[in-house]
Structure 1
Amino acid sequence: MFDAQFMALPGISPQEYSYLQNATNGLNEQQVRTFLMIYSGKRKNPSDMLLFCVIGLCLVPGLQRFIIGQIGMGILYLFTAGLCLIGSIVDIINHKELAFEHNQKMVFESLQMTRMSNFQ
């Protein structure tokens, strides 16, 4: 029913698509629209995450961690040159998982905000 709306998200993976379907199960059409409006602003595209990881490797160690809200890890990467470059290289390899984990947290936050907006 709402498949086209989920597919409009740039760079959506089948895993994220399935997660979104399960998370929004039971919401009406208006709630799904509200959810998608909130979620699309918080979500990180895996392609963008790869770009952040490469910039984190070459210019600003830890940039990718700051972008996804892991401030402590970002500071650690910054002061240790990306954990001697090893951590930054691992993040490049795992950029899709970094984006998906961040997006899972944003799904939860967006659902909470959607549910709270219905009570007011």
Structure 2
Amino acid sequence: MRYVASYLLAVLGGNEHPSVADIENILGAVGIDADGEKAKLVVSKLKGKTISELIAEGSKHLVSVSGGGGASAAPATGGSAPAAASAPAEEKKKKEEPKEESDDDMGFGLFD
């Protein structure tokens, strides 16, 4: 992912066709040792494509990826009574649990 991100940064910087050296320079600027083979693979796969084409192509694949949980099912008729009865029991459980505060900040304080 970092190789694709550096490729995109180079394009945003005005270089329409970044080279392997461009990707290595961008990654090196932030202290990451670049793997030349991975950079070469990214450059070869993206050669001749515009960013608009890549985004459009990638957007098609996002449809098949789940973005989160589905909607919860509505309770059946008469199903709300048991849920209402269990609510006070849950509240009691929450109240019975002692609240523990941890001063373990691993040696770092917010205002030190």
Task: Identify whether the pair has TM-score above 0.5, normalized to the shorter chain.
Answer: no
Q: TM-score, with normalisation over the residues of structure 2?
A: 0.27
Greater helix content = 1
Q: TM-score, with normalisation over the residues of structure 1?
A: 0.26
